[in-house]
Amino acid sequence: MDKAFGCMPLYKKRLVQSIRNGRQHIEYKDVSYEDQPIERVKDSRGRPMQFDIWGWDEENTAQDQQYRAEVYSISRGGTPLYLFYCPEVFDVLYPDDKTHRCHGREHRFLQETVFAECVYGLFKSMSVAPDILHLNEGHVAGAAALIKGDRAFDKTAVVYTNHTVVPAGMERFSIDRLTDVIRQELATR
């Protein structure tokens, strides 16, 4: 087993900022991963690894929608980075009401919960209980809750860092939504 590895979503679009005629323009452009040395990760049976994950969003308040996340990997400086590809969830980084019909915060919450489920699913499927789980930024903190909620990870320490210590970088969601996510997660274990 590798001593360290990382996890992140593969986003479908990326934010491109430019200056035209002295004014800032922001647009989203499709991302192509074709020229990247990305490989599909196989499970213990040699099949492509993927997770079917439930997710809450503005159109799926009963939490019956499942999303399929495919798992890929790439080496970054000799360290494996696991990538979760689910384009209907990981469509844009930092969704807002302009990108998601007045439901940007809800979509952000969906991204965070699906990412947390992917990290947890990866650890479980690889039989990995890390000594340290380092999380950076608020949008990945859900993974800590899932990991620490499983006795298999009792010895895993969680280290959290945040380089955006301003209100915009500190995620906040309704306690009702968080309660729904926790209730659903406990029901699936």
- Cβ atoms of 104 and 28 closer than 8 Å: no
pTM of the full structure: 0.81
Higher pLDDT among residues 164 and 188, named by residue:
164
Whether the CA torsion 40, 41, 45, 46 is positive or negative: it is positive
The pLDDT assigned to 186 comes to: 57
CA geometry: angle at 126 spanning 125 and 127, to 5°? 90
Structure tokens at 17: 């900022």
Tens of pLDDT, residues 92-133: 887 877 888 777 777 888 888 899 999 999 999 999 898 988
Backbone phi, psi, residue 170, to 5°: -105, 110
| pLDDT bucket at 161, cuts 50 / 70 / 90 | confident
Phi first, then psi, for residue 19 (nearest 5°) are: -115, 125
- The string of pLDDT tens digits covering residues 21-77 is 999 888 888 888 888 899 999 999 999 999 998 876 655 555 567 899 999 999 988
Beta strands, E only, the chain: 6-10, 13-20, 23-30, 39-40, 50-54, 66-76, 79-85, 132-136, 157-161
- What does the pLDDT read at residue 97? 79
